[in-house]
């Protein structure tokens, strides 16, 4: 059994800590408002929102992929006014099953895009027992060891300057944030 799940309680993406850039970043409206659902491969793919994932009264979103190679993605792409942005999110990550050749991973991804929607780089928070990914000049991996609810913050300008030397900061005009449920089969 390969099972992967990521839950987000609230996603805030702000410019100078004053303006929320995401549409429906708190998931209070249906996921069709502001968010895009895409899937690949076989198996069970699901995205959902509910108030029962976290012990608070607010909505959270979930992406789920079960069995067989593939992925489930819930994402939103926004124009950014510049790199001076702070991304804050609260998440719980879970995965079960798998072996070194066939493994699940729960991910929260931040992709940096140019004006033509080309991916210039990515910051990927992930929780997985067996994932064999490695960081590069355009991919910064942040391994999550605690699957419980935690709040994470990412200073976009600092991230690009310190961890993604292959990304030209001046070309970044959009950012995509995504919940990924992923199953690898090798």
- Per residue in 70-122, pLDDT (tens digit) is 778 899 999 988 777 888 888 888 776 666 666 777 889 999 999 999 999 99
Do 92 and 144 touch, CB atoms closer than 8 A?
Answer: no
CA dist., res. 105 & res. 181, Å (int):
6
Give the range among 88-92, 140-144, 148-152, 179-183 with minimum mean pLDDT: 179-183
On the question of pLDDT at 14 being above 70, the answer is no
**What percent of the chain is predicted at pLDDT more than 90?**
37
CATH of domain 2-185: 2.60.120
Instruction: Look over the chain and give the mean of its residue pLDDT values, rounded to a whole number.
Output: 81
CA dist., res. 75 & res. 59, Å (int):
16
């Amino acid at each position: 059994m390969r099972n992967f799940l990521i839950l987000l309680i609230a996603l805030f993406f702000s410019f100078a800590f004053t303006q929320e850039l995401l549409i429906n970043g708190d998931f209070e409206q249906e996921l069709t408002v502001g968010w895009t659902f895409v899937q690949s491969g076989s198996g069970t793919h699901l995205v959902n929102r509910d108030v029962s994932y976290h012990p608070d009264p607010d909505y959270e979103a979930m992406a789920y992929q079960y069995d067989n190679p593939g992925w489930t993605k819930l994402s939103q792409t926004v124009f950014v006014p510049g790199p001076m942005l702070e991304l804050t999110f609260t998440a719980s990550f879970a995965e079960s099953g798998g072996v070194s050749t066939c493994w699940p991973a729960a991910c929260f991804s931040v992709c940096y895009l140019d004006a033509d929607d080309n991916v210039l780089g990515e910051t990927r928070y992930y929780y997985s027992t067996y994932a064999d990914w490695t960081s590069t000049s355009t991919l910064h991996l942040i391994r999550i060891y605690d699957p419980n609810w935690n709040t994470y913050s990412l200073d976009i300008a600092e991230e690009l300057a310190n961890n993604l030397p292959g990304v030209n900061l001046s070309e970044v005009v959009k950012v995509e944030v995504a919940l990924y449920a992923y199953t690898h089969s090798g």
